[in-house]
Structure 1
Amino acid sequence: MDRLYMFIATGAYSGYLPKAPGTWGSMVGVLLWVAIAHLPLGTYWSIVGVLFVVGVISAGAAEKIVDRGDPGLVVIDEIVGQLITLGFAPVHPVAALAGFLLFRLFDILKPFPVNWLDNRLHGGLGIMLDDVMAGLYSLLVLQLGIWLMRML
C-alpha cells in the first residue's frame, strides 16, 4: 500500500524529479487538465474533488513513510491546485501557460490565507489546503484576465 500512496502523493513519481518538484507537479497538473478539460464541468469538478480526498490520504501517508512534514516530493497538492486554477479556462496554450504561471506565483508567494494554512495545518489536509487556496486565487485572477481580454 505504501507504493500506491507514494505513487499518488508524488504525482506518478514526478515529485522525485530534480530541482523544483512543485513545478514538475504543476506540469503534471496541466497535462492532466489537457486530458480532462473536455469533460462536462460536473465530471471535471468531481474528478478534482476525488483527487483532493485521495491527495489528503496519500499526502498524509507519504509524510509518515518518509518521516518528514510536508515533504517536497509530495506534489499531489500542486496537481490539484493546478486543476482548480484551470477549471474554467478555455483549452488553449495561452490559458494553460497563464494558469501555470499564476498558480506557481501564488503557491510560492503564499499570500494570506495561503501562508496561514501552510503554517497552521499539518498532515495530509494541511499539505493540500494551502495549494487549494493558491489554486482559488489563481482561478480568480485567470478568469479576470480572460474576462478583460474578451472586453478588448
Structure 2
Amino acid sequence: MRMTRFITTFAYVGLLRPAPGTWGSAVAVVLAIGIDYLLGFWVLAAATLAITLLGFWACAQALRGRPGEDPAEIVIDEVAGQWLALLFPAAAFWWMGLHDWAWRAYPGWVAAFLFFRLFDIWKPWVIGRADRRQDPAGVMLDDLWAGAFAGVATVIAAGVSHGLLL
C-alpha cells in the first residue's frame, strides 16, 4: 500500500497544498523537459506510456473498494495527461530536428501546461464524460483526454502564432 501511495501521489507531490493537481502538472513539465532534453523524444514517449500504464494499475489498487472517489492527492493522472500534452510540441520539434526545443521554444511547454490545466479543470465533452465514470479508470481517462485536447490546442496555437494556420 505504501508503494501504491508513492506512485499515485507521484513521489508525494500530490500532498503539496494548495492545488495538488497543479503541482503535479508543474513537476511533470519540469521532468518531461529534462527527459526530452537529456534522453530524447522517444524516451519521453516511452516514459509517457509507462507512467500511463503504471497510473491505471496504481489507481485501481488505491481505489479498490472505494467507488466514485478521486482523491486530490492522486496526481499520477495529471502527470500522464501533462506528459501526453507535451508529446505534441516535443514530436513537432523532434520532426524538425530541434532537440533542445524546451530552452528555445518555451511558449510550447507553457501553452501545453496552461491548456492542460484549462481542460482538466473545465472538463468539456469526453473529458467530463470520462470524469463521470466514477471508477479508477475514469480517474486516469479524464486527464488523458485533457492531455490530448491540450496537445492539439498547443499545436494549433503554434500554427496560428507562426502564421501557418492563418
C-alpha distance in 2 between matches for 1:40 and 1:121: 36
The SS at the match of 2:88 is coil
Q: Which residue of 2 aligns with 1:112?
A: 125
1:67 is displaced (CA, Å) by 8.6
CA–CA separation in structure 1 for the residues paired with 2:156 and 2:127: 20
Aligned to 2:79: 79
Query: Is residue 14 of structure 2 the alignment partner of residue 15 of structure 1?
Result: yes
CA displacement at 1:69 relative to structure 2: 1.3
Structure 1, gaps ≥5 residues long: none
* Residue type at the aligned position of 1:42: W
* Alignment of 1:142 onto 2:154: yes
* 1:46 to partner: Cα distance: 1.4
Once the 2 structures are TM-superposed, how far is the Cα of residue 34 of structure 1 from its aligned partner? 1.3
Letter in 1 for 2:112: G
What are the residue-to-residue correspondences of 1:113-128 with 2, within 5 Å? 113-120=126-133, 122-123=135-136, 125-128=137-140
**How many residues end up aligned between the 2 structures?**
150
Letter in 2 for 1:113: V
Question: Of 94, 110, 117, which residue of structure 1 is paired with 2:107?
Answer: 94
Q: Tell me what 1:53 maps to.
A: 53
Q: Structure 1 counterpart of 2:55, which letter?
A: G
Give percent identity, aligned residues only: 35
Q: Secondary structure at the match of 2:87?
A: coil
Alpha-carbon RMSD: 2.0
C-alpha contact (below 8 Å) 2:20/2:72 kept by paired residues: yes
8 Å CA contact 2:68, 2:134 repeated in 1:
no
Q: Say which is worse superposed, 49-58 or 36-45, in terms of deviation.
A: 36-45
CA–CA separation in structure 2 for the residues paired with 1:100 and 1:69 = 25
Offset at 1:132? 0.2
The separation in 1 between residues aligned to 2:56 and 2:73, in whole angstroms, is 15
Contact persistence 2:36–2:43 (CA under 8 A):
no
Give the drift of 1:42: 3.0
1:19-58 pair list within 5 angstroms: 19-38=18-37, 39-58=39-58
2:77 and 2:133 map into 1 onto residues whose CA distance is 16
Cα pair 2:14 2:23 within 8 Å, conserved: yes
Q: Give distance in 1, aligned partners of 2:62 and 2:13.
A: 14
1:68 CA drift (Å): 7.2
Q: Structure 2: any 5+ residue segments left out of the alignment?
A: 90-100
